[in-house]
Structure formats: structure tokens, C-alpha cells
Amino acid sequence: MTRLYDQAVDIDPARVRQFFDDRAKREKNAINAVMLQSEGSSIAIERDRYERENLLPSLPQPGKILDLGCGAGRLATHYAPHGHTYMGIDFSSELIVKGRELHGDNPKVLFEIAEVPKIDVANLPVQPPFDLIVVTGLLIYLNDGAVTETLRLLGELAAPTATIYLRESVSDIETRLTLKDFYSEELKEYYNGVYRTRAELKAEFAKTLEHDRFAIAAEGYVFQGALRNRVETTQYFYRFERNQ
């Protein structure tokens, strides 16, 4: 199977995990391992810099930050220097190994191997509630039921006054696009992902985050110009706020 349009087709989480385990072993740069671009491209590094400088929320005082689908903890270097406690969760053991190698000397940066949303919250080294939850490029690798469960989990883990930053790869056409066991000539490997429309995501937010009193404070396309290099898909962000 390859490119599937307007079809609710499940992808295999085990294949997605293996994909990222392999990239973690192969890619020296932790950013390139998760922000997928062709070999030799600098776009991933430039996108990471742009997101840090322009979009990532800040906290007025040191707090607890949860990064779901954290990869090797690229955002730990953004938040930890400001006194925040960073908790990163990813299902790729190889990416978590890389994250611990990069940040192991910082007691305020912790990692856990877990498949979202199947998280043993009671045994996390950093306990909720979290002041900021960051989700970047995770929902694309979850099937529909897991997306709903994950968004509900965000509401449960967030503090009464909290921010959620969600940046996702979405379909930029009228229908969802699923890549199932799709061989990417660019990446030179098989790839799986579900690119939902923004309308589909909004419907999910309505029955989960909005139900938990989160409201969208800002949204929009993430990248422009040369940093936006896909035809049918794009990166889109939402910032949610919840106040007591």
C-alpha cells in the first residue's frame, strides 16, 4: 500500500517505532533523526531554530514541562536552562538513549520510554500536574482512537492553569492522506503516517481539550518560504490555554 486519500486506515505502531529506532542509530544529529528531511538537508536545523525563536511558549517562572513524543529531547536544551523541570516521553528506546546521553548530566531533564497514550502516569519520575505540555509531530503517528485518548490525557495531566503547544503535520488538501508502508525515495526507507485535515483535528479538540476548558489562543501555519517544502502536507500549530 502507498498513498491513501480520504480513508480511515490504521498504521502499525511497531513499524513506526522501528523506523525511529533505526533513524536514531543512523543519524548523528538528534534533530535530523526526528524532523525528517533528506540526507544533507539543513531544513530540519533551520526549522528547529525558527520554532524555538518564534513559536514555543515560555513560562513566567520555573515550572514543569511535559514533552510527549520528545524524540531525543531537542526541546530540553530550550527549556532546562531557564530553571524548568523537563519530562520527555517517547516510545523509541533508541531516541531515549540518545536523549539521556545528551542530557544525562542535568538532574532537571528526565526521560521515560512509553507509548503514548499508554503511559503509567503513577510511575513517571516527574509527576503531574504540568504547567506546559508540548506535542510536536506526534499525532501523525497515532491511529484515530489513540489520538482521542492522547488529547484527553493532556487535559488530565495539565495544571488548572496551563498551556498546551501542539504542532502537527497536517493534510493541506481537502481530505486526509495516509502513507501506509510507503517507500520514500527521499528518506530511502518505508514510512507510515496519518496526515489529518485541520477540520478533523478541530473536531477532536471539541470533544477533548475544549471539554476540559482549554481554548485555542493562537494557531497558524508554522513555516513559510523555503522552510515549507511539501505539496500536499504542511506544518500547523495550535496554542491552547486553560485558566482557572
Residue 40: the pLDDT is 55
Residue 49: the pLDDT is 87
Q: Give the H or E element holding residue 136.
A: strand 130-136
Residue 1: the pLDDT is 58
Q: Are 189 and 166 in contact (CB under 8 A)?
A: no
CB neighbour burial string for 34-53, b if at least 16 within 10 angstroms, e if fewer: bbbbeeeeebbebbbeebee
Residue 88: the pLDDT is 97
Residue 132: the pLDDT is 98
Residue 124: the pLDDT is 97
Residue 39: the pLDDT is 54
How far apart (Å, rounded) are the C-alpha atoms in residues 49 and 32? 13
Whether the bond between 107 and the residue before it is cis, its omega within 30 degrees of 0, is no
The CATH code belonging to domain 3-48+62-242 is 3.40.50.150
> Is residue 101 helix, strand or coil?
helix
Q: Which of 149, 43, 94, 171 is nearest to 102 (CA)?
A: 94
User: Among positive and negative, which fits the CA dihedral 151, 47, 35, 100?
Assistant: negative
H-helix segments, the chain: 13-26, 30-34, 43-54, 76-79, 93-103, 144-157, 198-207
Residue 27: the pLDDT is 73
Rg (CA), the chain: 17
Q: Are 93 and 22 in contact (CB under 8 A)?
A: no
Q: Which residues contact 200 (CB under 8 A, 6 or more apart)?
A: 176
Residue 159: the pLDDT is 97
Per-residue model confidence as pLDDT tens for the chain (244 residues): 589 999 999 999 999 999 999 888 877 666 655 555 555 567 788 888 889 899 999 998 999 999 999 999 999 999 999 999 999 999 999 999 999 998 988 999 999 999 999 999 999 999 999 999 999 999 999 999 999 999 999 999 999 999 999 999 999 999 999 999 998 877 778 999 999 999 999 999 999 999 999 999 999 999 877 777 778 999 999 999 998 6
Read off the amino acid at residue 199.
A
Residue 42: the pLDDT is 77
